[in-house]
Amino acid sequence: MTIEKYRHPILFYSLATIIPWLFWFAAGYLSHIPSSNNLYVVVASILGFLGLLGPMVIAFSMILPDQELRGDLFNRLFSMKKIKPIYLFLTFFLMLISILLAQAISLLFGYSIDQFKLSGGTFTAGIFSVWFVLIIAPIIEELAWHTYGTDCLRKRFSLFKTSIMFAVFWAIWHFPLSGIKGYYQANLVESWIYSLNFAVSLIPYVLLMNWLYYKTNRNIFVAIVFHISAGFFNEIFLTHPDSKIIQTLLLLLLTIIIVIRERKFFFQQEYPE
C-alpha cells in the first residue's frame, strides 16, 4: 500500500514544529515593538506567513522525490471518484450548521440575537486581511497535514489515536501565535476559558475532519474545505465566545455518536486495504 511509504513521522513533526516556531517567536517579538512607519508590523507579518509555509514545504520535500508518493498526492488532490454526497455535504456545511445551532441555543440563556449578524472579523493579521488568512492558511496547512502528516501517523496507529495525537500536537503547535500582537490566538489567551475551549475543540474537530478525510479516500480537497469552513463560519457572524463553547459541546456529542457507531473504523490498528 502507498500509505506504507509515509514512514518519517518524527522527522516531519520535529521540523514542522521547529521551523514555524523560529519564525513565529521572532514575529511575536517584533509585533510588540512600537514603530511609527509600521515596519515591524510588516516584517512580523512576513515572518508569520513564512512560518505557516514551513510544514507544507517539509511535506512536499518528503513527497516529491518519490514517484509513487507524487502520484498518490496528485490523485488525492484532484480525484473526486467514489465520494458519497453525504460526506461532501458535511464537508461544506457541518461547521456552519454547528455554529448556527450553538448560537440558537445560546438565545435560551439570554444571549443576543445580534450574533446572527455578519462580522467584520474579530482579529487582525498584520498586513494581511482576516478573510485572506481564513482562506489561505487552511489551504497551506492542509497541504502539509493531509498530504503527509496524518498518513505518517495513521500508518502506525489507529485512526482514533492518530486524531487525538494530532489534536494535541496542533494545540501546542499554535502556541507561539499567542505572542503575535492582534492574532486570533493572542486574543484567546486573554481568557483561560476560551483558550481551553480552543484546545478542547480541536479534539472533535480533528476526529471529524479525519473521519471525512478517510471516508473520501484520503481526499485532500475535502480536508481543505472542511478546515476553511471551520474558520470562516466561526468568524463571519458576531458570535459570542460562549456560543463557541456550546459549539464545542455539540461537536463532541456528534463525534461520540459517530465513533461509537463506527468503532471498527476508528479503532482498528491496521490501515484498511
3-state secondary structure of 118: strand
Q: Which amino acid is at 171?
A: A
Domain assignment present for 109? yes
Rounded to an integer, what distance in angstroms lies between the CA atom of residue 43 and that of residue 133? 16
Rounded to an integer, what distance in angstroms lies between the CA atom of residue 161 and that of residue 152? 12
- 192-to-174, 186, 189, 205 alpha-carbon distances in Å: 15, 12, 6, 20
pLDDT values of the chain reduced to their tens digit, one per residue, 273 residues: 678 899 999 999 999 999 999 999 999 999 888 876 788 888 999 999 999 999 999 999 999 999 999 999 999 998 888 899 999 999 999 999 999 999 999 999 999 999 999 987 666 677 788 888 899 999 999 999 999 999 999 999 999 999 999 999 999 999 999 998 888 887 776 788 999 999 999 999 999 999 999 999 999 999 999 999 999 999 999 999 999 999 999 999 999 999 999 999 999 988 775
Domain assignment present for 33? yes
What residues act catalytically? 141, 174
Domain assignment present for 272? no
What total number of domains does the chain contain? 1
The range of the structural domain enclosing residue 223 comes to 2-267
In this structure, are residues 18 and 174 in contact, taking their beta carbons and an 8 Å threshold?
A: no
pTM for the structure as a whole: 0.94
Domain assignment present for 237? yes
* Residue at grid coordinates 484567546: 188
Domain assignment present for 273? no
Domain assignment present for 209? yes
